[in-house]
Amino acid sequence: MLQKLLITGANGNLGSICRQRLGHIAKILRLNARRGLGEAGPNEEIVYCDLSDKAAVEAMVEGCDGIVHMGGQAVEGSWETVKAANIDGMFNLYEGARKSSVQPRIFFASSHHTTGFHAQTTRLDPSKSPTRPDGLYGVSKVFGEALAQMYFDKFGIETASVRIGSCFPEPPSHRMLSSWLSADDLISLIERVFRVPRLGCPVLYGVSDNQSTWWDNSSVAYLGWRPKHSSERFRAKLDAEQTPPHRDDPDAIYQGGLFCTDTIHED
């Protein structure tokens, strides 16, 4: 059991799931967001700060032997927004980990938008396939993966960079039948990241056992993670509710879907 697990972005979609379901792997959950976390539970600590505040982030990381990094900008945004949350914030988090009296193991919520411009006809191996980000958000996650690798090589900080697909109760589109990740499979993956004897610094896709997935995680089989759910049970419902995208539609061409058509946002 971990002594103290930090969950950043603990009021977000995935961070809230982690708050609800990871209490059993740590004696204390230290929860972070900029606002809106409510009252602390019996084994919870709440720390409000912005990830771009270096001193505050370093203080927050101190003493944590595990980090689930869900915080930051979660969708496409302007460069200033993405940079502050996902570039500066990532650097501040890892500097905190480097300086901490306890070296943490880190689960970094990367994104499949690091490879969004790959065609849906291409099967990707995260250890070999090149990144092809589909926006500034995707670029920031490529940076995060590179930063994690450097801090592992230079300082020994272990990180799993998990390119999360589409973690919703149900896939809301036909494209997401391939990228869907169930909440149960997300939690079981986080559990494995903190339980495996030696983690290293793998990059892998956070995706359930979907029939039509584009991603091959066989290079990280040593983690012992086996997703149990499949999106196939939602296909008939989607077919009844929606018309599948035309073959020339970006949602049918690119793994990143409509993210590939987004423009550069300005403040």
Q: Given strand 66-69, what is the order of strands in its sheet?
A: 44-48, 26-33, 2-8, 66-69, 105-111, 159-164, 203-206
C-alpha distances in Å from residue 223, one per residue of 37, 172, 195, 196, 235: 32, 29, 9, 6, 29
Averaged pLDDT, 237-247: 96
pTM (whole model) above 0.75: yes
Pairwise CA distance, residues 251 & 82, whole Å: 24
Alpha helices per DSSP H over the chain: 13-21, 54-61, 79-82, 89-99, 136-155, 176-179, 183-195, 235-241, 250-253
Mean pLDDT, all residues of the chain = 97
Catalytic machinery residues: 137
Averaged pLDDT, 139-157: 98
Alpha helices per DSSP H over 10-169: 13-21, 54-61, 79-82, 89-99, 136-155
- Domains of the chain, by residue range, sit at 2-261
Annotation: CATH topology of 2-261: Rossmann fold (3.40.50)
- Count the Cβ atoms, other than its own, within 10 Å of residue 130: 8
| pLDDT one-digit tens code per residue, 109-124 | 999 999 999 999 999 9
Q: Provide the pLDDT for residue 266.
A: 86
